[in-house]
Amino acid sequence: MDRFLVKGARGCSVGKGPREQLGRKRALEHSEDGQERESEPENGRENLEKKTSVMADPSVGGYRWQQIKAEGLDCDYAVLFGRAEADGLFQELEREVEYFTGDLSKVQVFGKWHSIPRKQATYGDSGLSYTFSGLTLSPKPWIPVTERIRDRVSRATGHNFNFVLVNRYQDGHDHIGEHRDDERELAPRSPIASVSFGACRDFCLRHRDSRGKKPSRDVASVKLQLAHGSILLMNYPTNIYWYHSLPVRKKVRAPRINLTFRTIASPGK
Binding residues for substrate: 110-112, 130-132, 182
252 touches 196 (CB < 8 A): no
Using DSSP, how many helices (H) and how many strands (E) does the chain show? Answer: 3, 20
Cβ proximity of 244 and 72 under 8 Å: no
Beta strands in the chain (DSSP E): 5-6, 13-15, 27-30, 36-38, 51-53, 66-70, 73-79, 106-109, 112-115, 119-124, 130-132, 135-137, 163-169, 176-179, 192-198, 202-207, 222-225, 230-234, 242-246, 256-262
The predicted pLDDT at position 18 comes to: 53
pLDDT score of 116: 77
Per-residue confidence (pLDDT) for residue 75, from 0 to 100: 97
pLDDT for the residue 66: 93
Provide the annotated binding site for 2-oxoglutarate.
167, 169, 179, 244, 256, 260, 262
Model pLDDT, residue 268: 54
pTM (two decimals)? 0.76
> Contact, 210 vs 1, CB < 8 A?
no
User: Do 161 and 195 meet the contact criterion of CB atoms below 8 Å apart?
Assistant: no
In terms of residues, how long is the chain?
269
Question: Which amino acid would we find at residue 79?
Answer: V
> Could you tell me if 251 and 199 are in contact, meaning their C-beta atoms sit under 8 angstroms apart?
no
The pLDDT assigned to 184 comes to 86
What's the confidence (pLDDT) of residue 89?
98
Angle at 252 between CA 96 and CA 224, to 5 degrees: 90
Domains and CATH numbers, the chain: 66-262 (2.60.120.590)
Per-residue pLDDT tens digits for 5-14: 333 333 344 4
pLDDT along the chain (269 residues), means of 10: 34 44 30 35 32 35 87 96 97 96 68 80 93 80 98 97 96 91 91 96 95 94 93 97 95 96 80
Minimal CA–CA distance to 89: which of 172, 162, 166?
A: 166
Binding-site residues: 110-112, 130-132, 167, 169, 179, 182, 244, 256, 260, 262
- How high is the pLDDT of residue 104? 66
Side-chain half-sphere exposure of 212, counting CA atoms within 13 A? 7
